[in-house]
Amino acid sequence: MARGRIELGDVTPHNIKQLKRLNQVIFPVSYNDKFYKDVLEVGELAKLAYFNDIVVGAVCCRVDTSENQRRLYIMTLGCLFPYRRYGIGTVMLKHVLDICNKDGNFHNVYLHVQVNNDVAIKFYEKFGFEVAERKQNYYKRIEPADAFVLQKSFIGDKASENTVRASSPNASETKSMEQID
């Protein structure tokens, strides 16, 4: 494994084009201008990932208050292919989970992942995420079109078990990261 410094930085109007370019390369779907406008408003919920001062990944989330719950939705979390397995995805996901734990008022955190993206599914399972449901025809222009909803609960019957099990897995176990969403 290559040695390197992993840091997270803010998404700003000055670097939003880097986020757009990253997403174009990493994800099989495209995001509209409203997505990027909204990302600029979420503060700590959107971060660029740097490996030795080079932008190589990003995570973007939003607060969702649907289903009578306060939830955190991971819209995107991805890393450029050559930089996967260096722990960058782990740093980004731990950032998200730390926000949830410090806030203390999220029922769960969730995301969508293509049903055939086994690497991403295994990655999230290491942090206590579970498949909550399968959404038929979730994606419009990619195959397979189905998505799993992966979810990690905080408030409720699984909260304490998941927080302990997933708050800090062994770094050597969580080096794999695939694009999602």
- Tell me what percent of the chain is helix, strand and coil, each rounded to the nearest 5: 35, 30, 40
Dig out the tokens for 5 from the structure: 């410094």
Tell which phi-psi region holds residue 23, choosing left (phi > 0), alpha (psi between -120 and 50) or beta. alpha
Rounded to 5 degrees, φ, ψ at 174 are -125, 45
Residue 59, helix vs strand vs coil:
strand
14 catalytic residue (yes or no) = no
Beta carbons within 8 Å of 67's beta carbon, 6+ residues apart: none
The catalytically annotated residue of 50, 112, 124, 138 is: 112
Q: Which residue has the tokens 């997403």?
A: 23
Is-catalytic flag, 107?
A: no
Q: Would you name the residues annotated as active-site residues? A: 73, 112
